[in-house]
Amino acid sequence: MVKLSINGTVHDVDVEQDTPLLWVLRDVLGMTGTKFGCGVAQCGACTVHLDGTPVRSCQTAVGDVGEMAVVTIEGVGATPAGAKVQKAWMDLQVAQCGYCQSGQIMSAAALLAQTPAPNDADIDAAMAGNICRCGTYVRIREGVKHAASLT
Ligand code: FES
Ligand code: FES
């Protein structure tokens, strides 16, 4: 049994300690906003926050989460940075097919929580691990800037 705090709610899940967090979110808890892309920490589709730090949940064993707070795309809108990013994504219609976008939003929200006024280099560094097959990178960068401008 593993105890996880996810979006402010504590869940007891009956899984092995080495089960990937992504599997628990999607298959055990039915929180399907976090996406499976590559499964090997190369695409960023599965990004969630652990105590505010963006991590790849496909390569994070639930046994390593401990008491760290997990925030997913279902909960990030309750954070100030997450709310700004989600509004900016809507304002600019950033998504195309949308598959990568929950991961993009999680990385962008973590960036803005740490760096409220990021420059291009900050944005590129923070978003480099999030792949978009649709090539929405220009809108993603504008989305981060727009989010940073929101009060
Ligand atoms: S599914 Fe985790 S990084 Fe691609
Ligand atoms: S919007 Fe389609 S993969 Fe990014």
What are the structural domains, with CATH classification, of the chain?
2-71 (3.10.20.30), 77-149 (1.10.150.120)
User: What is the spatial distance between Cα 58 and Cα 45, in angstroms, rounded to a whole number?
Assistant: 9
When the pLDDT of each residue in the chain is averaged and rounded to a whole number, the result is 97
- According to DSSP, the β-strands at 9-13 and 53-56 are unpaired
Report d(CA 55, CA 68) in Å as an integer: 12
| 74 close to 31: Cβ distance less than 8 angstroms | yes
pLDDT score recorded for residue 128: 96
Q: How confident is the model at residue 133 (pLDDT cuts 50, 70, 90)?
A: very high
Looking at residues 98-115, what average pLDDT do you find? 98
pLDDT digits (tens, 9 = 90+) for 55-92: 999 999 999 999 999 999 999 999 999 999 999 999 99
Taking residue 39's Cβ as centre, other Cβ atoms within 10 Å add up to 15
Residue 10: per-residue pLDDT:
98
CB 129 within 8 A of CB 69: no
Q: Which residues fall within 8 angstroms of residue 74, CB to CB, at 6 or more apart?
A: 7, 31, 33
Task: Name every protein residue with a CB atom under 6 angstroms from any ligand 2 atom.
Answer: 95-101, 132-134, 136
Q: Which of 22, 47, 23, 50 is nearest to 130 (CA)?
A: 47
CA 11 to ligand 1 centroid distance, Å: 23
Q: Say how far apart CA 23 and CA 85 lie, in whole Å.
A: 25
- Nearest ligand atom owner, CA of 139: 2
What is the percent of the chain with per-residue pLDDT over 70, rounded to a whole number? 100
DSSP state of 108: H
pLDDT at 151: 81
Mean pLDDT of 134-150: 97
* Mean pLDDT in residue range 41-68: 98
